[in-house]
């Protein structure tokens, strides 16, 4: 062989060695974690007989009416969780649990403790907050070298500011009129400065990076023009975080606003005025004229859905699907796709008004995980998992020994599940929401509704409670939010029943309360509830825990 031939062979061997070493490094490096979450999206597929426009699930959940090919492909080439739940079916407590691994009823945030001093019964709803002085998922990941990022909706810190615009100025935030026009530079400047201030606030809770931030829901920006969804703006921030941290292991909390109200599928004058037909320049940061040419235009997305002969009302799902695709493309371009675990789920469901209930329509969520280096394709897991499990799973994957975590972890690591075990990790799950508590096994569910002493005394005297728009009620809603309580109470004939038992095998949509006919099963489930409630020191709950 000639000298040039030897050189060519040597160069090829060198490339093979480099490629092999890169592959080994990629397989041994701590995985990147991208946690992507929608808002108010159920896993339950609406029945054909239901005419109401629903917040649809993904195609991988079995919904034939939607088009989510990118997400569905990730799910197919990863793991689909068919029995995934959240412990509280409303935004704030669910997010608290996801970022701490603790039930929301353990919160020691200032707003929650003010409402529920130690020794009193808790009423978990949109009142929990991430604590400033306790460990949480991003802080623990930072300690082992992870860069942490926050993009999208928060709703987990500083409730006194988020929910009350009167507190803005004294806390350093700018104010503007509800009808103020972001096209006015002076108005947009205020919005920009508020956004920057909020990003600094969330960084205090363990995040190195924060952008495209919403302090609460869209309406908590208190501006008509900003009360619109903007998938592109958040997506661009997610890509920026990846680009800035591609050389380190990273954790990205990527929290979408769709499909939470204002629903992106609602129309006005023939337009999806809060979704695909809104102004893409209107963001939580004010008026931003950014380049989103890497994504299809909104008109192209609607046209694609029309050509597939599907309802354009569900095109918001494809909108989000393309955003996920952009994340995947970025990971591949940077050579870090194989060692990145992508999780897609929702904070809770809202099928047929199930939000703020403990029925399947509110607590069951879509969940898939995709990780080329760690999860084999075409996997399904049919056993119970819950949002309490995210934090311990991610800590475990990052190499953190769970027994050394100083704060309580109510969940378990799903690492063995990701590696292929089909064994159950939970015998049963616990749920909490307002005045309701629940436990479920794979086949059965028990829901209790109990009240604090003040409310129970009022009930005993036959005094009515104030309902939505002046309605009088025999019993109060589970939550303080009358609007949500009204919708939730109409979603089930059993909402106010003190004791509810459902056979989930024969009645998965919980249409028959069989408590009276199944006292033995009810007692068994009540014992599980008592066992769960004992996990909350100094928190009474009627006759279960005094």
pLDDT, tens digit, 9 for 90 and up, residues 479-520: 999 999 999 999 999 999 999 999 999 999 999 999 999 999
What are the tokens at 495?
């909402």
pLDDT, tens digit, 9 for 90 and up, residues 386-440: 999 999 999 999 999 998 887 899 999 999 999 999 999 999 999 999 999 999 9
Residues 6+ apart with CB under 8 A from 537: none
**Among 51-65, 156-170, 267-281, the least confident range:** 51-65
What is the predicted pLDDT for the residue at 28? 52
Listed residue (332, 396, 456, 318) closest to 144, CA to CA: 396
At residue 29 the predicted structure's pLDDT band, cuts being 50, 70 and 90, is: confident
In the chain, DSSP finds a helix count (H) and a strand count (E) of: 16, 18
Listed residue (88, 80, 39) closest to 363, CA to CA: 88
Listed residue (305, 367, 344) closest to 67, CA to CA: 305
**Among 1-15, 266-280, 303-317, the least confident range:** 1-15
- Kindly tell me if the per-residue pLDDT of 7 is higher than 70: no
Beta-bridge partner residues of 38: 346
CA distances from 314 to 14, 56, 210, 278, 354 (A): 51, 7, 29, 15, 19
- Kindly tell me if the per-residue pLDDT of 5 is higher than 60: no
What is the predicted pLDDT for the residue at 54? 75
What is the predicted pLDDT for the residue at 52? 73
At residue 49 the predicted structure's pLDDT band, cuts being 50, 70 and 90, is: confident
- Domains of the chain and CATH, by start: 32-45+54-430 (3.40.720.10), 431-533 (no CATH)
At residue 17 the predicted structure's pLDDT band, cuts being 50, 70 and 90, is: very low
Alpha carbon dihedral 490, 496, 499, 501, in 10-degree steps, equals 0
Q: CA-CA distance, 45 to 54, in Å (whole number)? A: 9
- Kindly tell me if the per-residue pLDDT of 11 is higher than 50: no
What is this structure's pTM?
0.94
3-state secondary structure 154-180: CCCCCHHHHCCHHHCHHHCCCCCCCCC
Q: CA-CA distance, 489 to 277, in Å (whole number)? A: 33
Average pLDDT across the chain, whole number: 94
pLDDT, tens digit, 9 for 90 and up, residues 144-156: 999 999 999 999 9
What is the predicted pLDDT for the residue at 404? 87
- Check the CA dihedral 412-421-43-69 and report its sign: positive
pLDDT, tens digit, 9 for 90 and up, residues 233-252: 999 999 999 999 999 999 99
Q: CA-CA distance, 127 to 113, in Å (whole number)? A: 9
What is the predicted pLDDT for the residue at 153? 98
């Amino acid at each position: 062989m000639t000298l040039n031939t030897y050189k060519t062979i040597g160069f090829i061997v060198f490339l093979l060695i480099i490629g092999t070493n890169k592959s080994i490094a990629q397989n041994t490096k701590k995985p990147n974690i991208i946690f992507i979450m929608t808002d108010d999206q159920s896993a339950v597929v609406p029945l054909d007989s239901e005419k109401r426009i629903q917040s649809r699930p993904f195609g991988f959940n079995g919904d034939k009416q939607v088009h989510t090919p990118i997400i569905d492909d990730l799910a197919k080439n990863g793991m689909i969780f068919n029995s995934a739940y959240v412990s509280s079916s409303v935004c704030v407590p669910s997010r608290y649990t996801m970022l701490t691994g603790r039930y929301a009823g353990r919160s020691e945030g200032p707003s929650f403790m003010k409402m529920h001093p130690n020794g009193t019964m808790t009423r978990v709803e949109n009142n929990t907050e991430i604590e400033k002085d306790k460990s949480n998922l991003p802080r623990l990941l930072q300690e082992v070298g992870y860069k942490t990022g926050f993009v999208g909706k928060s709703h987990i810190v500083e409730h006194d500011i988020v929910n009350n615009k009167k507190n803005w100025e004294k806390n350093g935030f700018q104010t503007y009129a509800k009808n103020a026009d972001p096209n006015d530079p002076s108005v947009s400047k205020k919005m920009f400065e508020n956004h920057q201030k909020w990003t600094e606030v969330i960084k205090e809770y363990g995040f190195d990076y924060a952008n495209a931030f919403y302090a609460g829901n869209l309406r908590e920006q208190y501006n008509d023009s900003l009360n619109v969804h903007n998938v592109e703006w958040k997506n661009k921030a997610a890509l920026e975080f990846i680009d800035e941290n591609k050389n380190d292991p990273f954790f990205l909390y990527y929290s979408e606003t769709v499909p939470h109200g204002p629903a992106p599928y609602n129309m006005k004058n023939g337009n999806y005025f809060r979704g695909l037909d809104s102004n893409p320049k209107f963001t939580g940061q004010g008026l931003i004229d950014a380049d989103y040419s890497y994504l299809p235009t909104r008109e192209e997305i609607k046209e694609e859905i029309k050509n597939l002969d599907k309802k354009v009302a569900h095109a918001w799902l494809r909108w989000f699907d393309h955003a996920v695709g952009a994340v995947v493309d970025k990971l591949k371009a940077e050579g870090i796709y194989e060692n990145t675990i992508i999780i897609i789920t929702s904070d809770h469901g809202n099928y047929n008004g199930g939000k703020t209930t403990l029925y399947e329509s509110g607590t069951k969520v879509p969940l898939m995980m995709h990780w080329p280096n760690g999860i084999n394709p075409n996997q399904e897991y049919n056993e119970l998992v819950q949002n309490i499990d995210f934090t311990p799973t991610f800590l475990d994957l990052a190499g953190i020994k769970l027994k050394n975590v100083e704060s309580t972890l109510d969940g378990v690591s799903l690492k063995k599940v990701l590696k292929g075990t089909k064994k159950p990790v939970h015998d049963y799950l616990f749920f909490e929401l307002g005045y309701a508590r629940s436990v479920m096994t794979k086949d059965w569910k028990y829901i209790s509704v109990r009240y604090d002493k003040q409310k129970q005394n009022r009930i005993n005297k036959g005094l009515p409670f104030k309902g939505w728009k002046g309605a009088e009620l025999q019993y109060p809603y589970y939550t303080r939010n009358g609007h949500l309580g009204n919708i939730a109470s109409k979603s089930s004939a059993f909402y106010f029943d003190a004791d509810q038992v459902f056979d989930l095998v024969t009645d998965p949509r919980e249409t028959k309360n069989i408590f009276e006919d199944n006292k033995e099963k009810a007692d068994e489930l009540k014992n599980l509830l008592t066992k769960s409630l004992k996990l909350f020191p100094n928190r009474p709950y009627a006759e279960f825990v005094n």
